[in-house]
Amino acid sequence: MKKILILMPKGTSSGKPSFERVQAFIEFYKSQELHVVVKDQPSNFLEKIELIKLLYLNKISNIFISMPQFRNWWLFLLPAVNVILDIRDGWSIAMKSGYGGNVKPNRLKAFIASRIEKFAIKRAGLTITCTPGLQQYLEKIAGKEVVLILNSYSKSDENLVAQLKEQVKKERNTNQIVAICVGQFSEYGNDKVKVVLRKLSESYPEKKVLLKLVGADYEKNKWIEDYLAQENIENVRLDILRRMGRREMYIQILLSDIGVTIIRDPDYEFGTKVFDYILCGLPIFYYFDVSNPFSCFFTEIERNINSRETTIAKILNDKCFLK
């Protein structure tokens, strides 16, 4: 039986996008009747030695690693090991752009990161990424095929939402629009938040807009109340809710009218909860002044997205590249 070692991002947990994405790959490889071993990514010298011993003593020739920290690129130097690399974030392009304008760009770090990315992609038996923009960028710097697998939603979440839709009855209020943002909000930049608030107000001038923030940092977002008052944005009201479990989160989404996600760079990323909004049937709020890859992509395929497990199986059945 073929064996594969899945390295789980350190510190992640159920519900986080990184955990849910890797978990879907674990289920896929198990469905292929592989012997799957799961470990956290090593974070110190001892853990690295233990990992090497595990690989060679158990004759594991395949490793799946999702967005390795910089200190784990040494994995690509191991002899007789086939690495399947999942890149969830564009390090070099983010450094070059200043993470969508949130920090000062660093072209030197971006160049070094792009060389590391190129080396890793060249060395990997298969490289996967999660947005069309990243796919095009990574293929350009590496000169090698990169497979696109969207983050999407899990099969278990699909089943959960189907059950909740039978139970959750939303009362229609023709005078109010309920917008929801699950995850970080101001954490991605106050300027983007101001654009969202203005667009919400202008898009629904005859209605009251309730903007629910679920799981955002209260201290980093409490300035919004003062900003709404200063700018005389009278038809938008803010409600900052605590972090909650997936069932509660989906209930809140189902009780809303539109889904909001803050995008650092629409050319390369999709935001954290956009697929959860789509699963619940919520339209995505496009707050950009001009069309971009994010808005174009979801306008075209918003209702034709499959679960992660289905998508992975469709794409990787012919592209496993396993030893």
Q: Are residues 104 and 64 in the same domain?
A: yes
240 found inside a domain: yes
Q: Are residues 240 and 199 in the same domain?
A: yes
Q: Are residues 59 and 43 in the same domain?
A: yes
Q: Are residues 223 and 199 in the same domain?
A: yes
Summarised one tens digit per residue, pLDDT across range 139-181 is: 999 999 999 999 889 889 999 999 999 999 887 778 999 999 9
235 phi and psi, to 5 degrees?
Answer: -100, 10
* pLDDT score of 20: 87
Which CATH number fits the domain that encloses residue 200? Answer: 3.40.50
Return the closest-CA partner of residue 9 out of 266, 17, 267. Answer: 17
Summarised one tens digit per residue, pLDDT across range 30-46 is: 998 899 999 999 989 99
321 found inside a domain: no
Which CATH number fits the domain that encloses residue 8? Answer: 3.40.50.2000
Query: In this structure, how many other beta carbons lie within 10 angstroms of the beta carbon of residue 298?
Result: 20
323 found inside a domain: no
Structural domains in the chain (count): 2
- Check residue 33 and report its DSSP letter: T
Give the residue carrying structure tokens 């201290």. 219
Q: Are residues 143 and 163 in the same domain?
A: no
Rounded to whole angstroms, how far apart are CA atoms 41 and 32?
23
- CB 25, CB 83: distance < 8 Å: no
List the helix and strand counts (H, then E) for the chain.
13, 10
Q: Are residues 7 and 148 in the same domain?
A: yes
User: What b/e readout covers 173-192, taking b as 16+ CB neighbours within 10 angstroms?
Assistant: eeeebbbbbbbbbbebbbeb
* pLDDT score of 104: 80
Mean pLDDT of 303-318: 83
322 found inside a domain: no
Give the residue carrying structure tokens 């209605």. 207
Q: Are residues 135 and 269 in the same domain?
A: no
Rounded to whole angstroms, how far apart are CA atoms 37 and 51?
11
Summarised one tens digit per residue, pLDDT across range 271-286 is: 778 999 999 999 999 9
* pLDDT score of 298: 83
Angle formed by the axes of helices 107-123 and 132-142, nearest 10°? 80
- Per DSSP, the residues of 3-24 read EEEEEEPTT--TTSHHHHHHHH
Beta-bridge mates of residue 62? 82
Give the residue carrying structure tokens 């008052």. 229
Summarised one tens digit per residue, pLDDT across range 198-247 is: 999 999 999 999 999 999 999 999 999 999 999 999 999 999 999 899 99
Q: Are residues 135 and 167 in the same domain?
A: no
Chain-wide mean pLDDT for the chain? 90
* pLDDT score of 18: 85
DSSP helix/strand/coil, 236? strand
Q: Are residues 129 and 53 in the same domain?
A: yes
Q: Are residues 193 and 89 in the same domain?
A: no
Summarised one tens digit per residue, pLDDT across range 64-121 is: 999 877 778 899 999 999 999 999 888 888 888 776 666 788 889 889 989 999 999 9
74 phi and psi, to 5 degrees?
Answer: -60, -20
253 found inside a domain: yes
Give the residue carrying structure tokens 């760079």. 265
Output the CA angle 276-271-41, nearest 5 degrees: 95
Angle formed by the axes of helices 155-167 and 308-316, nearest 10°? 150
Q: Are residues 184 and 267 in the same domain?
A: yes
Phi-psi domain of 99 (left: phi exceeds 0; alpha: psi -120 through 50; beta: other): left
Beta-bridge mates of residue 259? 180, 284
- Per DSSP, the residues of 256-274 read -SEE----S-TTT---SSH
Q: Are residues 226 and 259 in the same domain?
A: yes
Which residue segment(s) compose the domain that 147 sits in?
3-152+308-316
Pairing of strands 258-259, 126-129: unpaired
